[in-house]
Amino acid sequence: MDLLQPIIKPYAWGSRDALARLQGRDTPSAGPEAELWMGAHPSGPAGLTRDGRATTLLDAVAGDPDGELGGACAQTFGGRLPFLLKVLAAEQPLSIQVHPDRDQARSAFAAQQARGGHGPYADDWPKPELLYALSRFEVLAGFRDREEAAHLLESLEVDGLRPVIGLLRAGTGEQALSEALRALLERAPDDRAPLTSAVVASSRRLARSAHPHAAAYAAVERMSGHHPGDLGLVASLLLDHRVLEPGTALFMPAGGLHAYVHGVGLELFANSDNVLRAGLTTKEVNVPELLRITDPAVRVPVVVPRSVPGPGSTCLYDCPVAEFALYRTELDGSSGPLVPASGPRIAFCADGSARLSTRTGNTEPLRLGPGASCFLPASDQEVLVEGEGTLFVAAMGLFPEERGAIAQSLFFSAMTTLSHHRFPRRVHILLRGFPGDRLEKGPHRCTPPWTSEGPKSRERWWTKGGPSSTEPNSPHPRGSPPNAWHGRSTP
């Protein structure tokens, strides 16, 4: 086990309070602090100390891939730690962006290298993402329904949007959304300022009305203060606007257009830094490449946590990717084996404290306080954890046989429960986890204890001074929102 020294990224959109408060430092910080990186990406590898010598997690993995990652992981991912964990503190809106899948990243990066290396691709890896909201978190996540997008633009009563509305109304499929986005982003330079000015003015009016999407218009008004004249302000109305409650997790598949607007969250993603931007940025917007990578049919589902055996209360946030999975444990003072038990892992203490030790005692125990993290190599297979607080563990995605074992365990648990209880309403059992499963919409009445419906939990550092959103409630305050991710698919 190695205590990590995470890397802080000082991007301009970051907070001067959230990360400093997390780590127990004085606030405000000297400058904006946007992201806390815990991983082995070349752009910001976390530091650690081995045998009294300072090094990085990147160098440690490169020096012994099989020992650090395990043979299966090293072979599958070419000797690279497959995931990157970070805390994201968005005080200002991030760019509207999209990430490639594996085939797109490989071919595009190879072509870029053949042209001399300059271009938008940082590496040849995909970048699907999981976002876990630590505070209320405002996002733009995936395209809206085509007709709904047309209605939002039409309500603005801006003549310059008529051609875009026409594209949406004339289309019969998801591709009409991409064509509408293209029409906005390829607007003539002289028309951009008048169009965005008119859209912001109308959004300000609608944000104060009884319009069902007043919150989305309010977001446009707020974002205009950080990105005046940016066409991304108009494009944002094509996207689904949501405010996530703490404890909610979203899966951002490759090809899904999205933006993080405001909040503090834990982000876990494939070990890549590939980003293609569509707006709300001063950086290059490569419209042809952006539209080639963007898939308008991609939806951004909520990840429904599943209880798994572990110390305290342990949940798995599993996504249909091979690179990562997230585990969350509410430690209750008892001791038990760390979950998962094998493979490379990064443990992060969000609040309280956690003590990690090995059964063999051949390594010194580690105590993690709020904001602290450690790397557990594949060779540390019998790790015990105890304490009181919230511990997240990032790990590899599940193999098909592991998903099958979990699904079987859940099935027998459900059968046992049903045999002892009578329910006043119809019960739906959703069994997923086998090859061929898909993203599905469906009812979900199992509420995790940290949501607004569950027992009140103690105040967290990240709930103080949360997002200044004008939307009073989560878009789906009860039960599971549309596009909830009940299924699992084979990587």
Reported as a single tens digit per residue, the pLDDT across 105-127 is 999 999 999 999 899 999 999 99
Judge whether residue 182 has pLDDT over 80.
yes
Residue 401: pLDDT band by 50, 70, 90 thresholds? low
Q: How many CA atoms does the CB half-sphere of 470 hold within 13 Å?
A: 16
Contacts 24+ apart (CB under 8 A), 61-64: 61/344
277 is catalytic: yes
137 forms beta bridges with 244
pLDDT score recorded for residue 84: 97
Pick 407 or 14 by higher pLDDT: 14
Residue 486: pLDDT band by 50, 70, 90 thresholds? very low
Among 21, 277, 306, 432, which one carries the catalytic annotation?
277
Q: In what helix (H) or strand (E) does residue 66 lie, and over which residues does it extend?
A: helix 65-69
Alpha carbon distance 261, 266 (integer Å): 14
Alpha carbon distance 368, 393 (integer Å): 13
Relative orientation angle of helices 146-155 and 162-170, to the nearest 10 degrees: 160
Residue 360: pLDDT band by 50, 70, 90 thresholds? confident
Alpha carbon distance 292, 178 (integer Å): 10
| Neighbour count for residue 298 (Cβ, 10 Å) | 20
- The mean pLDDT of 465-488, rounded to a whole number, is 35
Please give the model's pTM, rounded to 2 decimal places. Answer: 0.82
Alpha carbon distance 255, 128 (integer Å): 9
pLDDT score recorded for residue 411: 46
Reported as a single tens digit per residue, the pLDDT across 190-245 is 999 999 999 999 999 999 999 999 999 999 999 999 999 999 999 999 999 999 99
Pick 464 or 189 by higher pLDDT: 189
Pick the closest to residue 10 from 26, 38, 25, 29 (CA basis): 29
Alpha carbon distance 100, 105 (integer Å): 6
Read off φ and ψ for residue 400, nearest 5 degrees: -55, -40
Judge whether residue 452 has pLDDT over 80.
no
